[in-house]
């Protein structure tokens, strides 16, 4: 990858795209400085600053849309793109859904936690998520008591969050459930409470350790398993590099262990491997939400939120509404027909909302396809022949822009 | 190969494809002519001696798979008249007075929200199969779903319907295999495309220019078929433009388009499935999924809502099928990755379990209750599996005239779930 291409690649894989002006500035700084800047975010602003976020689980659709729209706006304009991309990834990893949680404030609280601690210790984040109000509601810890422990969180902590299937027993799931009892949150509480009378303090045999009796012990035992670093490394390798090649995973395991068990360090290591030629990254299909954030950024457009919400539903990805505890299925699942059609509709909404004098629309108007590809962050700044033929044939500049935004070169990073 | 149970059907070779109508059996699209000819042009190849009209002959059978995501509690759907059930569920058992009696059995009754299914039961067109689960169950959603999708063949095995799809003729275009509300891994691994509607609401282009433009983007001059992501993206564009054209006019009840989420996935999905089958000119599989049935808490209210939606969807499908004349072509089955723990937890719910209950519906089913469970002989607190899910699949593949052994390794036909 040459340096110009690498800067664009980085921002699509570990960031959220760039505006034309930002892309020029990033290239002027150079790859090394740009990567350094990406992975050392400063001045993180809260997506919901100044937004009225209801705690009421019975909040209406308009209030929910407002809360989601604030996040989408933030993802499209953030000055800390790696931090926000990571938080987005974590939202599909340490999953809760407003479908069950109901209270918008609880969901916002969880995303704020992912933003605040996503770049810190990952075991620390797991510990915080374990007693996060939204998580206690989503995976039923809130209703779990000493007399009748609920296994939901205990199981998914091991299967989906920290270790992966095959690295624990049913006995571990049940022992963990007992040790995790006592933490609860009401339907509109934004903070969890520990109620000792609901807690089973009996020492448990858990993941090969004895005497585990509380949430701290559960998380510590889980992350002490040999399978944990490999599980984390594989997840990051797949997300950032599109591969789970053994050598790549081994490098990321080493980075995780040496770097204080921080995801941002692993992400940074993965990105360096790719841009410095240590590995050849495989293409990845951008999920609808990060893709939308990127095309908004490269066009400066903010299409009407009602249309966006409808199209994202059709695309299969509404923020804060993951389909189940495993998050969104990625990759080829995004070639679903409804996603393809919804992407075209979203692209048309973005193209329609792009300012007349925006340089990206100007490139579409001039029919300068190399410039258009570059403005849209396509690393080698050119469209393939089939795409170029289709764009040449577009009836008007905004349709040309919409089709460019929907093209494989933009959807696949 | 043992002979599949089909109405008056002759034995057929591994790769033959069968169209079966109420009146007879037609073999068509043998390997040498799999891509040739429209189904209707093959009417004169009828070998079954049936009385089906040419119009019937052109319209093959449909399988509707209704996937209950999250692990459905078989004991709440088909409630055992067993004190041990009530003892294990002191706060969330379906009240005895609310259980819907089923003709012909005193062993079980239906959840009250499933009452719309009673007319199908009374007509002998609904069966409930109990104790369904793999013999060595796993309580992970994702491990268990994978086993169901791949008929327990593991690893990179294709879905259990992939082989059927590979052998299906091009009869009904992009809607030969359709997935509604999800991605249908049951069909994954086929060389043929599946039309996947993650959410059928709003499945339309904002402007005709977009459809034209997408068709142009899809054309890379190779005719498609590449297995890299870019080729797949272009193929998906072509398929989606076709699917929009086909689905237009079929969507009669996409349902609550204005909500942030689909709130009646089964009613809306099965209404769409009905229109797809009504319009189909070839064999058809539609997978409709929804949930979540993962009732770790609040089980009573969740079941009330979801079962009402499932029952309205299934009953609505067959009402539409009767009036549209395609009931005879329809077989519907429910699936779910596992059942739930017999004893309730402290959250008004149940944790992951083992065996569950499956419904089969349609004129071809052997109606009534199949399979047995024993609440006095549990497996780690769960309903012990007594019926391999591949028994259901054997019936479904027979129905489609597909090669059971190719898909499942062998036939699982100890219990006859279809009429012989």
Best A146, A408, A412 member to test B by mutation, with max B CBs in 10 Å, is: A408
Q: Which of B308, B371, B357, B378 is nearest to B79 (CA)?
A: B357
Contacts of A159 in chain B (CB under 8 A): 140, 142
Residue A159 is given by DSSP the state I
| Interface contact flag, B234 A408, Cβ < 8 Å | yes
**Cβ of residue B202 closer than 8 Å to a chain A Cβ:** yes
- Name A323's Cβ contacts closer than 8 Å, sequence gap at least 6: A97, A316, A329, B182
Going by the DSSP 8-state scheme, the letter that residue B122 receives in this structure is H
Stretch B177-189: mean pLDDT = 92
Give me the pLDDT at residue B172, please: 61
The residue-averaged pLDDT of A314-324 equals 95
Contact yes or no for B201 and A314 at CB 8 A: yes
Which of A19, A98, A30, A110 shows the shortest CA–CA distance to A65? A98
The token pair at A359 is 């340089």
Which residue on chain B is closest to A327 by alpha carbon? Answer: B142
The structure tokens listed for B409 are 């390794």
Beta bridge partners of B129: B358, B370
Residues 211-250 of B with CB under 8 A from A: 213-214, 216-217, 219-221, 228-230, 232-237, 239-240, 243-244
Residue pLDDT, tens place only, A395-405: 999 999 999 99
For residue B91, the distance in angstroms to the closest alpha carbon of chain A comes to: 13
Per residue in A5-31, pLDDT (tens digit) is: 999 999 999 999 999 999 999 999 999
CB atoms within 10 A of CB B405: 16
Angle at A114 between CA A111 and CA A115, to 5 degrees: 90
Nearest to A412 among B205, B233, B380 (CB): B233
* Tokens coding B247: 């689905």
**What's the confidence (pLDDT) of residue B15?**
28
pLDDT of res. B251: 66
The average confidence (pLDDT) of chain A is: 96
What value does the mean pLDDT take over residues A364-382? 97
Separation in Å, CA of B370 to nearest CA in chain A:
30
What pLDDT score does B51 carry? Answer: 35
CB pairs under 8 A between A and B: 198
Q: How confident is the model at residue B250 (pLDDT cuts 50, 70, 90)?
A: confident
Closest chain A residue to B341, measured at CA: A151
Has residue B16 got a pLDDT over 80?
A: no
Contact B210 A402 (CB under 8 A): yes
CA distance A387 to chain B (A): 5
Which pLDDT score is estimated for B300? 98
Complete DSSP assignment for A298-334: HHT----HHHHHHHHHHHT--TT--SSTT----GGGG
B197 in contact with chain A, both atoms CB, cutoff 8 A: yes
The answer on pLDDT for B13 being more than 50 is no
Q: How far apart are CA A340 and CA B217, in angstroms?
A: 12
Q: Measured between alpha carbons, how far is A322 from A317 in angstroms, rounded to an integer?
A: 7
Question: Which residue from B minimizes the CA distance to A338?
Answer: B197
pLDDT digits (tens, 9 = 90+) for B73-123: 999 999 999 999 999 999 999 999 999 999 999 999 999 999 999 999 999
The residue count of chain A comes to: 413
The b-or-e profile of B140-175 (16+ CB within 10 A means b, else e) is bbebbbbbbbbbbbeeeebbbbbbbbbbbbbbbbbb
Residue A38 contacts residue A82 (beta carbons within 8 Å): yes
pLDDT at B248: 77
In chain A, the residue whose alpha carbon lies closest to the alpha carbon of B343 is A148
What pLDDT shows up at residue B256? 59
- SS3 letters across B340-384: ECCCCCCCCCCCECCCEEEEEECCCECCEEECCCCCCCCECCECC
Contact criterion met (CB below 8 Å) for A402 and B223 = no
Of A95-99, A139-143, B154-158, B353-357, give the lowest mean pLDDT range: B154-158
DSSP string, A201-255: ---EEETTEEEE-SHHHHHHHHHTSTHHHHHHHHHHIIIIIS---HHHHHHHHHH
Interface check for A97 against chain B (CB to CB < 8 A): the answer is no
Instruction: Nearest by CB to B261, from A159, A313, A395: name it.
Output: A313
Average pLDDT of the residues in A189-207: 97
Closest-CA residue to B369 (of B126, B43, B48, B36): B126
Q: How far is CA A401 from the centre of its chain?
A: 26
**Average pLDDT over every residue of B189-216:** 90
Secondary structure of A249-297 in the HEC alphabet?
HHHHHHHHHHCCCEHHHHHHHHHHHHHCCCCCCCCCECCHHHHHHHHHH
Residue B229: which of A149, A326, A412 has the nearest Cβ? A412
B27, B68 Cβ separation under 8 angstroms: no
pLDDT for B162 equals 95
Q: What is the pLDDT of residue B254?
A: 52
Name which of A65, A339, A394 is nearest B198 (Cβ-Cβ): A339
As a 3-state breakdown, chain A gives helix, strand, coil percent values, each rounded to 5, of 60, 5, 35
Residues of B in contact with A182 (CB under 8 A): none
If we measure between CA atoms, which residue out of B405, B375, B362, B408 comes closest to residue B389? B408
Are B297 and A315 a contacting pair at CB < 8 A? Answer: no
Size (chain B), residues: 420
CB atoms within 10 A of CB A307: 17
Measured between beta carbons, the chain B residues lying within 8 angstroms of A348 are 206-207, 210
What's the pLDDT at B18? 30
Integer Cα distance of B309 and B291 in angstroms: 10
Q: With an 8 Å Cβ cutoff, is B205 touching chain A? A: yes
What pLDDT score does B297 carry? Answer: 95
Residues of chain B in contact with residue A160, where contact means CB-CB under 8 angstroms, are 142
Q: Hey, what domains does chain B have and what are their CATH numbers?
A: 1-58 (no CATH), 59-204+249-408 (3.40.720), 207-247 (no CATH)
pLDDT, mean of residues B355-367:
98
How high does pLDDT run on average in chain B?
85
Between A103 and B420, the higher pLDDT residue: A103
With CB atoms and an 8 Å threshold, state whether B214 touches A395. no
Q: Where are the alpha helices (DSSP H) in B41-128?
A: 54-57, 74-77, 83-88, 118-122
- Residue of B90, B298, B345 to mutate, testing the A interface (most A Cβ within 10 Å of its Cβ): B345
Does the beta-carbon distance from A402 to B213 stay under 8 Å?
yes
State pTM to two decimals. Answer: 0.91
The number of C-alpha atoms within 13 Å of B318 and in the hemisphere containing its C-beta is: 24
> Is the pLDDT confidence value at A336 over 90?
yes
B263 at the A interface (CB within 8 A)?
A: no
The region that residue B103 occupies, defined by phi over 0 for left and psi between -120 and 50 for alpha, beta otherwise, is beta
Helices (H) and strands (E) in chain B, counts: 12, 13
Q: Under an 8 A CB cutoff, do A309 and B260 touch?
A: yes
Examine the pLDDT at B25 and tell me if it is beyond 70.
Answer: no
- Distance in angstroms (rounded) separating the CA atoms of residues B58 and B171: 9
Query: Which of A140, A283, A408 lies at the smallest CB-CB distance from B296?
Result: A140
How many helices and strands, by DSSP H and E, does chain A display? 23, 4
List, for residues A220-274, the tens digit of each pLDDT value.
999 999 999 999 999 999 999 999 999 999 999 999 999 999 999 999 999 999 9
User: Which residues of chain A does B345 touch, with a Cβ-Cβ cutoff of 8 Å?
Assistant: 144, 148-151
Provide the token pair at B408: 């499942």
Alpha-carbon distance of A382 to A387, in angstroms, equals 10
Q: What is the pLDDT of residue B305?
A: 97
Q: Are A7 and A23 in contact (CB under 8 A)?
A: yes
Could you say which DSSP state residue A42 is in? -
Confidence bin at A102 (pLDDT 50/70/90): very high
The whole-number average pLDDT for the span A86-94 is 98
Residue-wise pLDDT tens digits, B273-315: 999 999 998 999 999 999 999 999 999 999 999 999 999 999 9
Given a cut of 90, is residue A160 above it in pLDDT?
yes
Encoding tokens for residue A175?
């022992």
pLDDT exceeds 60 at position A340: yes
Around Cβ A405, how many Cβ atoms within 10 Å? 30
Average pLDDT over residues A72-78: 97
Give the model's confidence band at B155: pLDDT under 50 very low, under 70 low, under 90 confident, else very high: confident
In percent, the amount of chain B with pLDDT more than 90 equals 70
Examine residue B292 and say whether the peptide bond preceding it is cis (omega within 30 degrees of 0): yes
Distance CA A253, CA A235 (A): 11
Sign of the Cα torsion A47, A53, A56, A62 reads negative
């Amino acid at each position: 990858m040459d340096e110009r291409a690498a800067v664009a690649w980085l921002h699509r894989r570990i960031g959220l795209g760039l505006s034309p002006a930002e892309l020029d500035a990033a290239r002027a700084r150079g790859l090394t400085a740009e990567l350094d800047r990406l992975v050392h975010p400063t001045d993180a602003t809260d997506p919901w600053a100044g937004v009225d976020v209801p705690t009421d689980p019975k909040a209406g659709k308009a209030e929910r849309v407002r809360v989601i729209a604030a996040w989408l706006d933030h993802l499209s304009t953030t000055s800390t793109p790696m931090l926000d991309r990571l938080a987005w990834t974590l939202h599909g990893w340490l999953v809760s859904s407003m479908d069950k949680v109901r209270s918008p404030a609880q969901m916002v609280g969880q995303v704020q936690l992912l933003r605040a601690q996503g770049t810190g210790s990952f075991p620390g984040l797991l510990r915080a998520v374990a007693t996060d109000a939204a998580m206690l509601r989503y995976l039923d810890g809130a209703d779990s008591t000493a007399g009748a422990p609920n296994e939901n969180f205990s199981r998914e902590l091991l299967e989906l969050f920290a270790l992966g299937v095959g690295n624990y027993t049913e006995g571990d799931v049940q022992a963990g459930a007992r040790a995790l009892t006592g933490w609860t949150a009401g339907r509109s509480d934004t903070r969890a409470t520990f109620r000792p009378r609901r807690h089973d303090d009996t020492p448990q045999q858990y993941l090969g350790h004895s005497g585990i009796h509380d949430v701290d012990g559960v998380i510590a035992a889980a992350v002490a398993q040999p399978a944990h670093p490999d599980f984390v490394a594989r997840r990051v390798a797949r997300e950032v590099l599109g591969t789970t090649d053994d050598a790549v995973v081994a490098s990321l395991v080493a980075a995780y262990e040496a770097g204080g068990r921080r995801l941002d360090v692993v992400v940074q290591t993965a990105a360096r491997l790719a841009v410095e030629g240590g590995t050849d990254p495989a293409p990845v299909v951008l999920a609808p939400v990060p893709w939308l954030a990127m095309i908004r950024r490269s066009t400066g457009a903010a299409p009407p939120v009602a249309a966006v919400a409808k199209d994202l539903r059709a695309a299969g990805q509404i923020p804060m509404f993951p389909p189940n505890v495993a998050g969104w299925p990625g990759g080829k699942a995004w070639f679903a027909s409804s996603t393809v059609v919804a992407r075209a509709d979203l692209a048309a909404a973005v193209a329609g909302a792009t300012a007349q004098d925006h340089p990206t629309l100007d490139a579409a108007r001039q029919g300068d396809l190399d410039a258009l590809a570059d403005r849209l962050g396509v690393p080698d700044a050119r469209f393939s022949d089939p795409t170029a033929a289709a764009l040449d044939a577009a009836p008007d500049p905004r349709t040309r822009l919409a089709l460019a935004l929907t093209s494989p070169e933009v959807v696949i990073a | 190969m043992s002979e599949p149970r089909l109405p008056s059907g002759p034995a057929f070779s591994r790769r033959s494809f069968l169209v079966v109508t109420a009146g007879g059996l037609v073999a068509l699209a043998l390997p040498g002519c799999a891509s040739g000819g429209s189904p209707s042009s093959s009417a004169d190849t009828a070998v079954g001696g049936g009385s089906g009209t040419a119009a019937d002959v052109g319209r093959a059978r449909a399988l509707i798979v209704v996937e209950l995501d999250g692990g459905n509690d078989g004991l709440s759907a088909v409630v055992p008249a067993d004190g041990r059930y009530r003892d294990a569920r002191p706060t969330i058992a379906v009240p005895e007075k609310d259980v819907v009696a089923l003709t012909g059995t005193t062993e079980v009754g239906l959840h009250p929200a499933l009452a719309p299914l009673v007319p199908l039961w009374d007509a002998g067109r609904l069966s409930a199969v109990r104790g369904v689960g793999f013999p060595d169950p796993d309580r992970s959603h994702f491990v268990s779903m994978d086993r169901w999708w791949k008929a327990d063949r593991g690893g990179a095995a294709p879905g259990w319907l992939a082989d059927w799809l590979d052998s299906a003729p091009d009869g009904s275009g992009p809607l030969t295999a359709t997935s509604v509300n999800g991605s249908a891994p049951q069909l994954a691994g086929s060389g043929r495309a599946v039309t996947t509607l993650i959410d059928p609401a709003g499945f339309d282009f904002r402007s005709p220019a977009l459809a034209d433009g997408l068709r142009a983007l899809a054309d890379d001059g190779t005719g498609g078929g590449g297995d890299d992501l870019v080729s797949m993206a272009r193929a998906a564009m072509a398929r989606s433009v076709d699917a929009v054209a086909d689905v237009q006019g079929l969507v009669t009840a996409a349902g609550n388009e204005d909500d942030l989420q689909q709130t009646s996935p089964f009613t809306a999905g099965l209404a769409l499935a009905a229109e797809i089958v009504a319009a189909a000119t070839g064999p058809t599989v539609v997978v409709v999924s929804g949930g979540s049935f993962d009732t770790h808490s609040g089980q009573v209210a969740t079941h009330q809502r979801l079962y009402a939606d499932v029952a309205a969807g299934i009953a609505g499908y067959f009402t539409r099928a009767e009036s549209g004349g395609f009931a005879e072509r329809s077989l519907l089955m429910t699936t779910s990755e596992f059942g739930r723990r017999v004893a309730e937890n402290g959250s008004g719910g149940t944790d992951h379990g083992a065996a569950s209950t499956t419904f089969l519906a349609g004129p071809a089913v052997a109606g009534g209750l199949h399979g047995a469970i024993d609440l006095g002989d549990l497996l780690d607190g769960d309903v012990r599996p007594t019926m391999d899910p591949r028994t259901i699949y054997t019936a479904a593949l027979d129905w489609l005239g597909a090669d059971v052994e190719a898909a499942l390794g062998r036939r699982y036909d100890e219990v006859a779930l279809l009429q012989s």
